[in-house]
Chains A and B, each alone.
Chain A
Amino acid sequence: MIKHKQRVQEVLHFFDNKDTFLGFRKLLDCAMDTQNMQIYREAIDLTDWKEKNPEQTDAFIVKAKELLQKIASADVPENKAEEFVLKADQITKSYGSQKFSLGPISLTLTKGQVFGLVGENGNGKTTLLRILAKEIAQIQGSLHYQFTNKTQSDYDLRTKLIYIPQRTDKWYGSLMDNLRFVLANYGEKPEEIETRVLLMVARLGLWNYRHLKWSELSSGYKMRFELARTLLRKPEILLLDEPLANLDVLAQQIILEDLKAIANSVNNPIALILSSQQLYEVEKISDKVIFLKNGKYNESTTEAVNEEKPLIIEMDSNATREELLEVFAPFALEKLTFNGGIYTVYFNTSTRFSEVIVALGSADINLIYIRDISASTRRFFVN
């Protein structure tokens, strides 16, 4: 209840700052949490109005705030998910004559958590996701799932393990029918189906695309529709393989934020694992990043940041290697590598990032890009 109120307050704050784009999406998140069809319908009407009157920002903000008041007064029970929803124990998998082997991997996931799965191509990201989704069988190890409602059969379990492959299947027929079909199959109340579908469409920014054909959609919107279909299934676990592929930078950011927000829903949190090549973006929203290399994994958790770590910097510059070595001379430089485009500089634990930047600035080095990757899985890539 409190969490919901807090979220609504946040949204109000966005609207106060006229940050309507983000605010509206958050508003819809809150609306969705209420599970109240009246609020759903009002949110849908608001979306429709907004799309028809894109210029009238002020009027929109007023309307949005009115709706927020109603949303705030709704009773949203918090889903306290402390127990794991997915637990993998020492999973291994190998293909062919031991050419590739994955694992052993153990992980535990609770609702509301977001795991990022990173690693170079061919290192087993998809394999791991498919094992977790029970699409393929592991050779050793065990998987445990724990859902709100106990699963009755293997098939029942599979209906709850929702996995979106990188290349999703084509949708046939009307997009809206496909979405309605999902809810009908999940036994949603007939009179609520249309409303729920429309709100989901609105939430994922598909309002103006809902009458198009699949073939008329860009790959980004295809992914969004796929996500809409998936979220309508009220998943407790969501396994996404490369959801960011084919998306432009802005779209990547938005969809990640959306995923994070949806995963953190007050009354319907989702355990989310997504694989990606976009390290920084994924790291930003993930509670935990799993880095796979040759089927083995390294865990990088945000909690580990506090530990003493050597400083690793990644940078791009026109300066020569010699010039850089000169600048870094006062610091305890351990290693400087150049991969043809980017330098990676390793210092010992006593060096601070700000000091390095100051030094680079004083030396008037032309910096194109610089980043502290000490805590990022990026360091595994460049190593």
Chain B
Amino acid sequence: MNFINKINNYLIQRYPTIWNTRIVWMLAISLLAHILFYFIGFVSHSNPTSLQNSRVIDDYYNSGLIMVHIIISMLLLVGWVVYMFKNNGFKNFYPTSNVKLFGQFVCYLVIVFASISFYFSYMFGFRTYVNVAYPNNELAKNVDIINKAYPFLSIGYQDYSLDKKAYPKPFYDLYCETGSDLIDRSKKYFETNGNEYQFYSLYKVAITERDDSGNFKYPAAEYKNGTDLAYKEVVKDTCMYYFKKEVVDLSADIKTTNLSYYNFSRVFYKLDFDEVDFYDRYNYSYTSYPEETAYYGTNPNAAKNYEFSKQLSGILDRKNPEEIKKILNDFLEVSKQYQIRTNLNADEWFKLIYQPDNFEVKHFILENENAYSYPIDSVAATIDTLTTDVASAATAAHEQTVVETVEAAAVAVAQVAGSNDKMYNYYQQRLTRNYYEVRNLSDFLRSVELVKNVDFVSRNIHVYIWIAFFLSTLIFSFRVTNLRSVIFTGITTGVLSLVIGLMVLVYSMGLGGSEEYFAAYLVLIIATIIILIPFLFMTSASKLFTSIFMNITINGFVLYVLLILGIISMHQNDACRAQPGYYDSYPSRTCTTILEYLDMNTSYLLLAVGLIFMFIYTAVIKKWRAVPE
């Protein structure tokens, strides 16, 4: 108590503004709260199962923690405001400078920000825990173990079919046709359980022109000759069409056409710390859709990993039971550490997979405990199981995708299931009761990697910055004017919004046309008038009247700047669309509006503008305060 008084005394005598805003104490208390949240973050995911879901990064907002956060923030802010409002030098006409007044505002901003930004401490705690519990080198080692053993997990059958083979080299380079109506039966092809495979060499044609609807044109010569298209790929402004050249006979390299571990060529999980922002991959489906690839598919061999396949073939060729058992054992060890649910044990598993002749896949393992209870013959169940299978296969195959839309998966399932019931029946009959929750494993790894790498600060800071900014302007306008004025400011804002809303409504119903522009310009005009009122009527109008518009300006200037940027962007966009041939040449990507150009920097820019504005505006506030009623 004595200590607090001493510090208070020191501050009041030297830095009255700092004493008055209580910033020292508020920062100290917020620091304690931040430490608490850091600690909560640190212990929140100490159970590995809590990391086994796909939205771990949002746990803070989905758990009750956000409520705790809100309550603590509110208590802090209310307590602070009560204490700070005890003294107000500005209202008492104590001497103050523009800088001091602005300094007060900055103090508010810092205090409010410190009192509402616990999320970051939580996440730092969370990250620290993940880094401590799952250090990078150990994680990399474990991922290696997992990837090595994953082929033996025998979940699903697609990964083991002949078209997935990547070693030796020809399998990696050639295109494998699997569509039964596209197989040239006059040439060499392979067949097993109703699945057919034919290998082709390819040649490519690059196209850059587009047709009227913006799609790439189809190569004319191939169209004329009826050459079969294998697949196409879009890279930037060029579309690569890959056409089939000729069938290649790979009989010499094929030991068996059945499902085999030799065919497995997909790396289950790839760690890439420090690479592209993981969060983008995570939200891949709706943030950065690479143009067109999603609609036309990619090189089917892209998912194959030659080196991995080569390594796996090496293991299989050695046929060393000890070596394979060690791989399985290590894998189960890691699984245990990560608490992935399974009923596998190394010996039983080894028996399921060890087929030393050709390492054909004779048994399958469920991907979760309940999968087996589905009625086998039901089409629904078929589709259901396959959906997940295909989804997870596709997911892992593309490395960066996580979530495929259900429709896409269903289509894929229909194709697979429709084209070959025989293969599916083979799979069903060989399903064992063993399970391994592989989805949880991939979720777990993804969560760990995400928490380690995601830039949660710059992704979330804007929300907190602006909450803090607007709360600060509100408190500031209350401090420099009075409660009555703030209340009337609220009422005026409400009425103005209502009037603007009605005017836009009437305009859009009566006159039609572009109500976006009408609304934007109407708001701009009204806002400009509001900003000018305190300047024009400072001495002639009543103090309450000018204070209302002064308060609206203080609280809304940043939005005004944003509106201007928005209007500029609207015009830029329209100008771009008005260009001749806009829809023919697909130039939209070259038309960057100012808001698109600034992107997230808009937030920082507006913050800077807001601060500069507040500094300049303190002169107006002081002037207003001095005006007699």
B19 part of interface (Cβ distance < 8 Å): yes
Q: Whole-angstrom distance between the alpha carbons of A172 and B86 in the complex?
A: 5
By the criterion CB–CB under 8 Å, are B95 and A194 in contact? no
Q: Which residues of B contact A190 (CB under 8 A)?
A: 13-14
By the criterion CB–CB under 8 Å, are A135 and B13 in contact? no
Q: Whole-angstrom distance between the alpha carbons of A156 and B93 in the complex?
A: 8
By the criterion CB–CB under 8 Å, are A173 and B86 in contact? yes
Q: Whole-angstrom distance between the alpha carbons of A295 and B628 in the complex?
A: 20
Given contacts A154-B623, A155-B93, A172-B87, contact A193 B629 (CB under 8 A): no
Q: Which residue of A lies closest to B8 (CB)?
A: A177
Distance from A164 Cβ to chain B, minimum over Cβ atoms (Å): 11
* Stretch among A9-17, A53-61, A181-189, A263-271 lining the B interface: A181-189
Given contacts A190-B13, A190-B14, contact A159 B629 (CB under 8 A): no
By the criterion CB–CB under 8 Å, are B85 and A181 in contact? no
A3 part of interface (Cβ distance < 8 Å): no
What is the predominant secondary structure among interface residues of chain A facing chain B? helix
Distance from A141 Cβ to chain B, minimum over Cβ atoms (Å): 13
A158 part of interface (Cβ distance < 8 Å): yes
Q: Which residue of B lies closest to A190 (CB)?
A: B13
Q: Whole-angstrom distance between the alpha carbons of A154 and B625 in the complex?
A: 9
By the criterion CB–CB under 8 Å, are B628 and A177 in contact? no
Q: Interface centre among B15, B625, B626, B629, by most A CB within 10 Å?
A: B626
By the criterion CB–CB under 8 Å, are B95 and A184 in contact? no
Distance from B158 Cβ to chain A, minimum over Cβ atoms (Å): 74
Q: Which residues of B contact A136 (CB under 8 A)?
A: 628-629
Residue in A131, A137, A157, A184 whose beta carbon sits within 8 Å of that of B19 in the complex: A184
Distance from B13 Cβ to chain A, minimum over Cβ atoms (Å): 4
Q: Which residues of B contact A191 (CB under 8 A)?
A: 13
Chain A 191-229 interface residues, beta-carbon cutoff 8 Å to B: 191, 193-194
Chain B 138-197 interface residues, beta-carbon cutoff 8 Å to A: none
Q: Whole-angstrom distance between the alpha carbons of A98 and B89 in the complex?
A: 36
By the criterion CB–CB under 8 Å, are A185 and B628 in contact? no
Q: Interface centre among A131, A180, A187, by most B CB within 10 Å?
A: A180
B528 part of interface (Cβ distance < 8 Å): no
A153 part of interface (Cβ distance < 8 Å): yes
B204 part of interface (Cβ distance < 8 Å): no
Residue in A131, A158, A183 whose beta carbon sits within 8 Å of that of B93 in the complex: A158
A134 part of interface (Cβ distance < 8 Å): yes
Number of A interface residues, CB 8 Å?
A: 31
Q: Whole-angstrom distance between the alpha carbons of A181 and B88 in the complex?
A: 9
By the criterion CB–CB under 8 Å, are B94 and A177 in contact? no
By the criterion CB–CB under 8 Å, are B95 and A187 in contact? yes
Residue in B16, B19, B627 whose beta carbon sits within 8 Å of that of A154 in the complex: B627
Q: Whole-angstrom distance between the alpha carbons of A19 and B97 in the complex?
A: 47
By the criterion CB–CB under 8 Å, are A154 and B626 in contact? yes
By the criterion CB–CB under 8 Å, are B85 and A156 in contact? no
A178 part of interface (Cβ distance < 8 Å): yes
By the criterion CB–CB under 8 Å, are A181 and B628 in contact? no
B320 part of interface (Cβ distance < 8 Å): no
B117 part of interface (Cβ distance < 8 Å): no
By the criterion CB–CB under 8 Å, are A181 and B89 in contact? yes
By the criterion CB–CB under 8 Å, are A155 and B625 in contact? yes
Contact code string A127-159 (vs B, CB < 8 Å = 1, else 0):
000010011110000000000000001111111
Q: Which residue of A lies closest to B12 (CB)?
A: A180
Q: Which residues of A contact B629 (CB under 8 A)?
A: 135-137
B622 part of interface (Cβ distance < 8 Å): yes
Distance from B157 Cβ to chain A, minimum over Cβ atoms (Å): 76
Q: Which residues of A contact B96 (CB under 8 A)?
A: 155, 185
Residue in A131, A158, A172, A185 whose beta carbon sits within 8 Å of that of B625 in the complex: A158
B21 part of interface (Cβ distance < 8 Å): no
Distance from B21 Cβ to chain A, minimum over Cβ atoms (Å): 12
B73 part of interface (Cβ distance < 8 Å): no
By the criterion CB–CB under 8 Å, are A178 and B623 in contact? no
By the criterion CB–CB under 8 Å, are A184 and B14 in contact? yes
By the criterion CB–CB under 8 Å, are B94 and A159 in contact? yes
Given contacts A172-B87, A181-B20, A181-B89, contact A158 B14 (CB under 8 A): no
Distance from B278 Cβ to chain A, minimum over Cβ atoms (Å): 50
By the criterion CB–CB under 8 Å, are B12 and A184 in contact? yes
By the criterion CB–CB under 8 Å, are B94 and A182 in contact? yes
Distance from A125 Cβ to chain B, minimum over Cβ atoms (Å): 17
Q: Which residues of B contact A183 (CB under 8 A)?
A: 13
Q: Which residue of A lies closest to B96 (CB)?
A: A185
Distance from A136 Cβ to chain B, minimum over Cβ atoms (Å): 5
Q: Which residues of B contact A162 (CB under 8 A)?
A: 93
Chain B 57-95 interface residues, beta-carbon cutoff 8 Å to A: 83, 85-87, 89, 93-95
By the criterion CB–CB under 8 Å, are B628 and A134 in contact? yes
Q: Which residues of A contact B9 (CB under 8 A)?
A: 180, 194
Given contacts A156-B95, A158-B93, A173-B87, contact A185 B16 (CB under 8 A): yes
By the criterion CB–CB under 8 Å, are A159 and B93 in contact? yes
Q: Which residue of B lies closest to A184 (CB)?
A: B16
Q: Which residues of B contact A186 (CB under 8 A)?
A: 94-95
Residue in A154, A173, A185, A193 whose beta carbon sits within 8 Å of that of B95 in the complex: A185
By the criterion CB–CB under 8 Å, are A193 and B13 in contact? yes
Given contacts A155-B622, A157-B626, contact A180 B13 (CB under 8 A): yes
Chain B 612-626 interface residues, beta-carbon cutoff 8 Å to A: 622-623, 625-626
By the criterion CB–CB under 8 Å, are A158 and B626 in contact? yes
By the criterion CB–CB under 8 Å, are A159 and B95 in contact? yes
Chain B 363-402 interface residues, beta-carbon cutoff 8 Å to A: none
Knowing that A153-B623, A173-B87, A194-B9 touch, tell me 17 more A-B residue pairs with CB under 8 angstroms: A135-B629, A136-B628, A137-B627, A153-B622, A155-B622, A155-B623, A156-B95, A158-B93, A177-B87, A181-B19, A181-B20, A183-B13, A184-B13, A184-B16, A185-B16, A185-B94, A186-B95
**12 residue pairs from A and B, CB less than 8 Å apart:** A134-B628, A136-B628, A154-B627, A155-B622, A155-B626, A161-B93, A172-B85, A172-B86, A181-B19, A185-B16, A190-B14, A233-B94
Q: What 10 pairs between A and B have smallest CB-CB spacing?
A: A154-B626, A172-B86, A184-B16, A185-B94, A137-B628, A190-B13, A173-B86, A155-B626, A155-B622, A193-B13
Please give the residue numbers on chain A whose beta carbons come within 8 Å of chain B beta carbons, in ascending order: 131, 134-137, 153-159, 161-162, 172-173, 177-178, 180-187, 190-191, 193-194, 233
